Amino acid sequence: MTELSTLLAQAGNRRDANRAVSLPLTLSSNYRHESLEEARAFDLAKGYTYSRLATPTRRVLEETLAAMEGGTRAFATSSGMAAIQLALSILKPGDELVALDDLYGGDFRYFDYLKEHAGISVRTWDGQRIADLVAQLTPRTRLVWLETPSNPLMKTVAIAAVAQAVHAAQPAVLLAVDNTFLTPVYQQPLRLGADLVVHSATKYLSGHNDLLGGVLVVADPQLAAAYENYALTTGDTLASFDSWLLLRSLKTLPVRMKQHTAGARALVERLKDLPAVTGVRYPPGVGGMISFTLQSEAQVTRLLDHLQLITFAESLGGVESLITIPYYQTHADIPAEDRKRRGITPCLLRLSVGLEDPNDLFADLRQALAAKGK
């Protein structure tokens, strides 16, 4: 394979009939047929008729996304949740799903929907012993769903070991990995034995807090064909403009990830100097996502009310540092007892380290924690 940075830097180049280096944005929603004969012989894999099916911009984006994760087919969707919905569209009533117990909160909301409306049962696994995960598999299990590191507790799971154990136990079970946090720069799940990869492209892939999008990448061509049928029928696709923006952003993904890592590492070292900080989680040692806990809810309030540089806002993965409180934001729909039992407490904060100088980020955290009054 061409190196990832080369593949991404060159994305869209040498694809335009006019030899444009930056892939032109094509907004047309439909495409003219030359003749009835041409229309009847039309091959969707090669040409364009209607933008729900394909657009020149989205196609190049999807080819780039498939190549970057080592898949055969990628689908660019209108949000990360839409990509997750597409990934789970293969489930039938009676099927079972086993999921890590720490995931983006929207996943649990959607699992609840699937339980209620589609007769899918969901079991959870704590991410500790793979034997416990394998013990949960039944002949009805269709999918295992992971995030690693997970959101927001930063649990890590060895994808290759899970893939090996799950496939040895039940070859038909598919392993899906949400790769939003590490991106293919640091982790390529399909190459580690997973069957499906999803991303919230809203996060690192786009990286500038200006786009909502999702990605599903598939290795197996037959599975890809099933997803294609569903995706083109239901039409939850990424618009051409957003596809163009995402393609442009992908070009700088490797260099951004390197810088997010440098910033996060520097900050993790210094967070230990703040007496209010009782714990820091950064298990992968790469990427820009950190979770940390403060001693008290009063300190959390003081911090969030007085930050001047870091922005208190949902989302992650952009050039601007963002901080969130999962207990009240992303995971608010999980029953309070469950949240606390899992470690999602009102004292847990999730920091997406952006591209600012880590000294400035640290100074902001320190001044906010020391602030007096409202």
Ligand X SMILES: Cc1ncc(COP(=O)(O)O)c(C=O)c1O
The catalytic residue positions are 52, 104, 178, 203
Residue 159 backbone dihedrals phi, psi, to 5 degrees: -60, -45
The reply on whether position 178 binds ligand X by CB under 6 A is yes
CB 315 within 8 A of CB 203: yes
The reply on whether position 212 binds ligand X by CB under 6 A is yes
| Choice from 57, 64, 202, 206 touching ligand X (CB under 6 A) | 202
DSSP for 222-244? HHHHHHHHHHHHH-----HHHHH
| Choice from 51, 64, 124, 180 touching ligand X (CB under 6 A) | 180
Strand 96-100 to strand 311-312: parallel, antiparallel, or no bridges (unpaired)?
A: unpaired
The reply on whether position 151 binds ligand X by CB under 6 A is yes
CB 220 within 8 A of CB 333: no
Binding residues with ligand X: total (CB under 6 A): 13
Strand 141-147 to strand 174-178: parallel, antiparallel, or no bridges (unpaired)?
A: parallel
| Choice from 12, 56, 71, 80 touching ligand X (CB under 6 A) | 80
The region of 53-61, 73-81, 136-144, 154-162 touching ligand X under the rule CB under 6 A is: 73-81
The reply on whether position 214 binds ligand X by CB under 6 A is yes
The reply on whether position 183 binds ligand X by CB under 6 A is no
d(CA 289, CA 142): 30
Peptide bond into 149 cis (omega under 30): yes
The reply on whether position 249 binds ligand X by CB under 6 A is no
The reply on whether position 291 binds ligand X by CB under 6 A is no
Site track for ligand X across 30-69, x = CB under 6 A: ----------------------------------------
56 or 207: whose CB is closer to ligand X?
A: 207
Query: Which conformational region is residue 311 in: left (phi greater than 0), alpha (psi within -120 to 50 degrees), or beta?
Result: beta
d(CA 39, CA 33): 6
> Interface residues with ligand X (CB under 6 A)?
79-81, 104, 106, 147, 151, 178, 180, 200, 202, 212, 214
